[in-house]
Amino acid sequence: MKADERKRLILEHAKRLFSRKGYYNTQISDIVDEAKIARGTVYQYFKNKDDIFITLIRDFYNDWEKKVSFEMNRINLGQISPQEYFYFRVKNTLEFLADDPDLCNIVLRMGIGLSGELESTIKRFEKKIHNLIVSDLELGIRNNHIRKDLGVEMASNLITGALLKTALYDFGAKKRKKDSEEIEQMAREILNIFAPAIFIKK
C-alpha cells in the first residue's frame, strides 16, 4: 500500500470511530484495531489523535471550498435569477454535507465541548459558510435584488443555522444518504422560507 493510501485508510477508520464514539471516547488503539495496522504506522503520519482529527476537519474544509469554486464556474450569473442563485448555493452546500454523513456528524455535532484548537478548527467551517452568505447578501443588496434595510449579519446567522441544523438532522444523525431529488426539495423549501423576507419584490 502506498503512503498516501495508508494515510487515507487511517483517516477513514478514524472518521467512522469519531462519528460513532465521539472524540474523547476514541483512542489511537481503537483506530489501530479498526484499520488493522501496527500502532507505529499511525505515528508515521500523525503526531497524535488531535493531529488526525484536525487533518480530517481541514480536509473537509478544503473539499468544501473546492466544491464551491467548481460549482460557481458552472453557472452564468447573467442568466440566473437571484432566487435561483440562492437556491443553487443552498443545494450545493446540502449536497456536500450529505455526501459524507460521518464527517457531517463530526463537524456539526462535536464542536461543542471540545477544547482549544479542536473547537476552533470545527467552528471555522461554520464561519466560512457564514462569511460566504454575508458576501452573497451584500452582493444582492448592491445589485438591488435584496432589501437594503436587511440585517445582513442576522440573516446570515439564520440561514447558516437553518442549513447546518437541517444537515445535522437529515444527514449526520440519520446517517442515510439522501438522493438528489430529496436534496433539491430541501433546498427549495429553505428558499421558500427565506426568499419573502430577503428579496425585493419586482
Read off the pLDDT of residues 43-90 as tens digits, 9 standing for 90 and up.
999 999 999 999 999 898 888 888 887 777 777 777 889 999 999 989
Give how many domains the chain has, as a whole number.
Answer: 2
Nearest C-alpha neighbor of 128 from the set 84, 74, 200, 65: 65
53, 39: one domain: no
Q: For the domain that residue 16 is a member of, what is the CATH number?
A: 1.10.10.60
70, 128: one domain: yes
DSSP string, 5-38: HHHHHHHHHHHHHHHHH-STT--HHHHHHHHT--
pLDDT tens digits along 77-136: 778 899 999 999 899 889 888 888 888 888 887 666 677 788 888 888 888 889 999 999
128, 171: one domain: yes
64, 28: one domain: no
pLDDT tens digits along 138-153: 999 999 999 999 999 9
181, 108: one domain: yes
> Residues near 112 by Cβ (< 8 Å), separated by ≥ 6?
119
Q: For the domain that residue 130 is a member of, what is the CATH number?
A: 1.10.357.10
| Domain residue limits at 24 | 1-46
Give the residue-averaged pLDDT of 10-19.
Answer: 94
101, 189: one domain: yes
Nearest C-alpha neighbor of 113 from the set 22, 50, 9: 22
61, 31: one domain: no
pLDDT tens digits along 171-188: 866 556 678 898 999 999
Residue 9 binned pLDDT confidence (cut-offs 50, 70, 90): very high
138, 124: one domain: yes
pLDDT for 139 equals 92
76, 11: one domain: no
141, 157: one domain: yes
- The answer to pTM > 0.85 is no
123, 85: one domain: yes
127, 140: one domain: yes
Q: Which of 28, 46, 64 is the last residue of a domain?
A: 46
